[in-house]
């Protein structure tokens, strides 16, 4: 794992992008950054191009429109594997995932679990000892905890923070998950990938992180998105009882 890549998907994040890229480059100087922009109408893509022009470690993947977080990550993973990057990190553009905590994820990814198995996927977890959330209302914390608990129960996942988006994958782990079979595009993408990781026999570790609510811009989360994800999880849970691959 000598070529880390941090993937930052964006849609209308012009207020946050430059700062988060700078923080990544400071926290892990040998990491490259791939900004994946879904044709943001606020000009985020143009800012990404400016950042790339000034730093050879920053590259931009322009997509034709807003097609969902999962679709953005899948395109980024395909690009990363083709370019030989390893590991590959997921990071939100709004500052909720603190780049300063990325070294702890990478250290865990280079290690092994208590049974001595190499770690394939590390999750920056809000719900393990030492993890926390700053500036979220109580209702949103309950929604997040409840969604994660429901996914864990239905899919029998041992991971405490099943919906977390701060993740670091070994390149080989992404190949073993068979990305071509992943069709989830919305909020359920994170649970989908975690379930597929378990089904593929991957070793998953969690490290505590502090999740910080964005200070600028608007959240993409909505009640409808959460409901859609829970419907997917329910369908996957039923499928798992019959040992079928998630769709």
How many other CB atoms are there within 10 angstroms of residue 1's CB atom? 14
Judge whether 224 and 183 are in contact, CB under 8 Å.
no
**Range 5-241 classified under CATH 3.40.50.300:** no
The number of residues in the chain equals 247
Domain boundaries, the chain: 5-241
In tens digits, the chain (247 residues) has pLDDT values of: 679 999 999 999 999 999 999 999 999 999 999 999 999 999 999 999 999 999 999 999 999 999 889 999 999 999 999 999 999 999 999 999 999 999 999 999 999 988 899 999 999 999 899 999 987 777 777 777 777 788 888 888 899 999 999 999 999 999 999 899 888 877 789 999 999 999 899 999 999 999 998 666 565 555 555 666 666 667 666 766 666 555 5
User: How many Å apart are CA 108 and CA 162, to the nearest integer?
Assistant: 18
Q: Is the preceding omega at residue 87 within 30 degrees of 0, hence cis?
A: yes
């Amino acid at each position: 794992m000598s070529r880390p890549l941090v993937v930052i998907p964006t849609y209308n994040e012009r207020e946050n992008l430059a700062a988060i890229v700078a923080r990544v480059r400071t926290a892990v100087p040998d990491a490259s950054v791939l900004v994946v922009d879904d044709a943001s109408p606020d000009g985020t893509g143009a800012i990404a191009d400016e950042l790339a022009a000034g730093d050879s470690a920053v590259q931009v993947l322009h997509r034709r429109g807003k097609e969902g977080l999962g679709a953005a990550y899948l395109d980024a993973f395909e690009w990363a594997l083709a370019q030989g990057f390893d590991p590959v990190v997921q990071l939100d553009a709004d500052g909720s995932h603190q780049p300063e905590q990325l070294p702890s994820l990478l250290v865990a990814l280079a290690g092994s679990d208590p049974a001595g198995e190499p770690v394939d996927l590390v999750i920056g977890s809000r719900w393990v000892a030492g993890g926390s959330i700053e500036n979220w209302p109580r209702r949103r914390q309950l929604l997040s905890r409840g969604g994660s608990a429901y996914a864990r129960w239905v899919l029998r996942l041992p991971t405490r923070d099943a919906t977390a988006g701060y993740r670091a994958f070994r390149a080989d782990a992404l190949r073993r998950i068979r990305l071509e079979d992943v069709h989830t595009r919305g909020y359920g993408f994170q649970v989908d990938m975690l379930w597929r990781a378990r089904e593929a026999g991957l070793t998953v570790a969690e490290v505590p992180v502090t999740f910080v609510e964005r200070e600028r811009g608007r959240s993409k989360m909505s009640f409808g998105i959460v409901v859609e994800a829970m419907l997917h999880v329910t369908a996957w849970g039923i499928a798992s009882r019959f040992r079928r691959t998630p769709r």
